[in-house]
Structure 1
């Protein structure tokens, strides 16, 4: 099945260039100049991956990415920021917004094609912890393979006991409080 790539950029030249690259490599491009329309377009056109410009009027790429992460259809969609900024400059903001990658302009066509080709894998392995709650999605737990009882433990128990106080002489005064036990 042909991968469907949503491209959101407010510059027509960049949008057309990305569309051409995507189509030359056998993928289908779904394009929009308007970031406000992106989520609806992603759902109605059943996009597999989204390429978002970072700097756009009305709704920038960071805000759009956060909205896409909150929307059910696009919550696990691979999202790639396409920008003239360096990936290193955007790393914290990329993580905060929930994007998967940063693709720097000028665009490395091989890397772009590789990201599109791996869109199914990216979606399948997308983080299951999303949003402010930080809670693990219950369905993700069910999808995990059951551990066989015959498997040996990854870490063998040790005869030594862990230290009860830190070695810095503070007696633990600088340590954060323990989290309450999880309820089952």
Structure 2
């Protein structure tokens, strides 16, 4: 996973140090020596993350951050303030200006890379939601952007998963008047509560006596209902290795106790506002495209939406120099399913097949019913090797678990063939050419005996 990062600092040595560290991890880095240069660069080019110094001549980092977050064109870019300031009021001031996180000089390399990876995933998700909204032109996206951040903040519903009553009492005092804090002591019960309740954020302890906190995070990120729920990791100690791993698994933020009350409230509000914004984008997209571009049987996007949206994804991948893969899958001998179990049975298989596809891929991947028993998955930022592995995982999921049909829920065996293609960065192929390449691979899989994956890397 790569990204374009703008590093802003009036000290050339600091710029060179961060540039070198990030370039070694294959990030594309641009630099600016002051706030004016940074804002000019943001107006000219697109970036995925801004690493921003606070103490600079002219416009300080707080003001630069405020301007970034006030501009609809840049408001979604995560901003990490990199500063030598260690006063709590400066952190609170930065969060109130819209900063997404902080790094303290000298920068800890592990924390730097973990935060960059975490925020890159966030930016990719936001970009995908906005791009889908752009595809459906009738969405009033600008109105949604204008509303973002201006709605009065209601009391948030927050879940704390922690074994200790003392932690709950401490956080309850901090969040009094800000959030309704709910407490579950058992980690497994906490995951279930998060999935069942309408929470806007969940705080997960890093200090369970006999349970791995990373397991809780992984479970929350694997469930549809909690996949996008903000998670704050709460730790007694600053364990860099644990925090870095948690960020990689999808934690949105972390705090180390004892935590400053004002900073904790500011961080929580940042996560709640971000969730409301993303929920609004998803809601607008869903309402606008449901009838026009959704397959009525499976609930997936239909071919009309794919035909409109695929080229946008191809263009974006080329512009950013990122990989893009696509797979086409076809249910083997589907006519026999209809002949044996009727069209109602065939429809049940199609619905379950679509559900399994959706459950095996990321939220930013595009899953469509292409027509009949054919389905397409478009996977941004996915290499040929990764796409082939995903296709094989999908094939196994279909082949190894029977499908239930009819009133008696009788089990039938189903297999699928899959063709995979990856965008060739050296060619001028468009979305239609990419589909054709994947379709040829699918044809090979069918002719080669079915129930297999054939991949065309270029």
* Map 1:75-86 → 2, pairs under 5 A: 75-86=75-86
Q: How does 1:65-80 map to 2 (within 5 A)?
A: 65-80=65-80
What is the deviation of 1:86?
A: 2.0
What is the Cα deviation at residue 42 of structure 1?
Answer: 2.4
Partner of 2:54: 54
CA distance, structure 2, for counterparts of residue 118 and residue 110 of structure 1: 12
Deviation at 1:7, TM superposition (A): 0.4
Q: Which moved more, 1:54-63 or 1:111-120?
A: 111-120
* 2: CA distance, partners of 1:138 / 1:107: 30
Q: CA 1:118 to 1:31, structure 2 compared with 1: closer, same or farther past 3 Å?
A: same
Which residue of structure 2 lines up, in the alignment, with residue 104 of structure 1? 104
Query: What is aligned with 2:121?
Result: 121
**Structure 1: which 5+ residue stretches go unaligned?**
147-184
Following superposition, the deviation at residue 38 of structure 1 comes to 1.2
- For 1:111 and 1:87, the matched residues in 2 are separated by 19
- Is 1:134 paired with 2:161? no
C-alpha distance in 2, partners of 1:107/1:87?
A: 16
Q: Distance in 2 between matches of 1:49 and 1:99?
A: 11
Count of residue correspondences = 144
What is the DSSP-based 3-state SS (H/G/I as helix, E as strand, rest coil) of the residue aligned with 1:18? helix
Query: What is the aligned partner in structure 1 of residue 88 from structure 2?
Result: 88
Quickly say closer, same or farther: Cα 1:87–1:22, change in 2 above 3 A. Answer: farther
Q: CA deviation at 1:139?
A: 7.7
Q: Is the 8 A contact 2:148 2:277 kept in 1?
A: no
Matched residue, 1:14: 14
> Per the alignment, in what secondary structure is the counterpart of residue 26 of structure 1?
coil
Q: How far does residue 142 in structure 1 lie from its aligned partner after superposition?
A: 4.8
Report what 1:143 is aligned to.
Answer: 282
* CA distance in structure 1 between the partners assigned to 2:43 and 2:5 by the alignment: 12
Report SS of the residue matched to 1:29: strand
User: Structure with the greater relative contact order (CA < 8 A, sep ≥ 6): 1 or 2?
Assistant: 1
Where does residue 175 of structure 1 map in the other structure? none
Q: CA deviation at 1:89?
A: 4.4
TM-score by length of structure 1 reads 0.68
Deviation digits for residues 79-125 of structure 1, max 9, x if unmatched? 00000112734221022110011100110111111121122333346
Residue 160 of structure 1 corresponds to which residue in structure 2?
A: none
Cα deviations across residues 16-44 of structure 1 (Å, max 9, x unaligned)? 11111111111111101021121231243
Q: Is the 8 A contact 1:69 1:130 kept in 2?
A: no
Report the Cα distance in structure 2 between the residues aligned to 1:85 and 1:108, rounded to whole angstroms: 15
For 1:52 and 1:107, the matched residues in 2 are separated by 13
Structure 2 unaligned blocks of 5 or more = 127-144, 153-272, 288-458
Q: Which has the higher strand share?
A: 2
Q: TM-score, normalised by structure 2?
A: 0.29
Distance verdict in 2 for CA 1:84–1:142, change over 3 Å: closer
Q: Is the 8 A contact 1:4 1:47 kept in 2?
A: yes
Deviation by residue 1:64-92 (Cα, 9 ceiling, x = unmatched): 00000011221011100000112734221
Q: What does residue 41 of structure 2 align with?
A: 41
SS at match of 1:118: helix
Aligned equivalents of 1:138 and 1:84: distance in 2? 31
Q: Which residue of 2 aligns with 1:5?
A: 5
